[in-house]
Amino acid sequence: MRKNNPPPFRAFKKFRLKQALQFSSFIYQLGESSLLRQKSTPVNLIALKTVSQQKKIEHLKNYLLRYREITGQGRGITGVQVGILERISVVFTPENELLVIINPVITKTANKKYKYPEMCMSAWPIIAPVIRPAWIEFEYFDENGQQKIWNEKSDTERGRMLNRVFQHEFDHLEGVLNIDYCKGEDLILESDPDFYKTATFQEV
């Protein structure tokens, strides 16, 4: 019998599958629940400081940190990804801080757009090259109920990535995943451990 050449990156793929077995215990995957396709409901700000609501926020923080501990990746998480159908997202910033975003409302988007390959905890291990505005402005509430405004328009690598993460997470609030922006033939599966070492923002 003729022996075919084995597929590449087998060890890395096995390693990533072992990681998936761990985070699959708390992250909803596409097709597992209809929640991922539903719009999240606004958080009742009057009840924001109740024990039950603060526990939800802490759960989200801990799940994001746990995902990062398992995979070494993960820039953001949104409630619906762990079964909380409320408009709450948590983003891990470049300064290693957890930014809680509640009831965000996008008020302005950039005309300039970039394409960048995105991964999603809930559509693992698919990589989707998504086109998004270079930056957005939005209003939101923090975990203490204080109203805030994000309007950083930095075109640095940090600025581009943060603005993209916000948009990615806010899509989850509307029942939208990154793969929805792409044709099937443009999607790829993560297999090359060095893929993101050469990934760049492409202006379109």
Q: What is the distance in angstroms between the CA of the first residue and the CA of the last residue of the chain?
A: 48
In the residue annotation, 169 being an active-site residue is answered as: yes
Query: Which of 59, 66, 57 minimizes the C-alpha distance to 88?
Result: 57
* Three-state secondary-structure class, residue 53: helix
Q: Tokens standing for 87?
A: 């408009």
Angle at 63 between CA 190 and CA 137, to 5 degrees: 80
Residue 100: name the closest of 45, 155, 153 by CA. Answer: 45
* The 126-133 sheet, strands edge to edge: 188-189, 126-133, 113-119, 202-203
Residues linked to residue 146 through DSSP beta bridges, in sequence order: none
- Which residue is catalytic, options 86, 118, 169, 190? 169
Asked if residue 59 belongs to a known ligand binding site, the reply is: no
Residue 149's H or E segment, with its range, is: strand 147-150
Residues annotated in a binding site: 120, 168, 172
Residues flagged as binding site for Fe cation: 120, 168, 172
Q: Which residues form the catalytic set?
A: 169
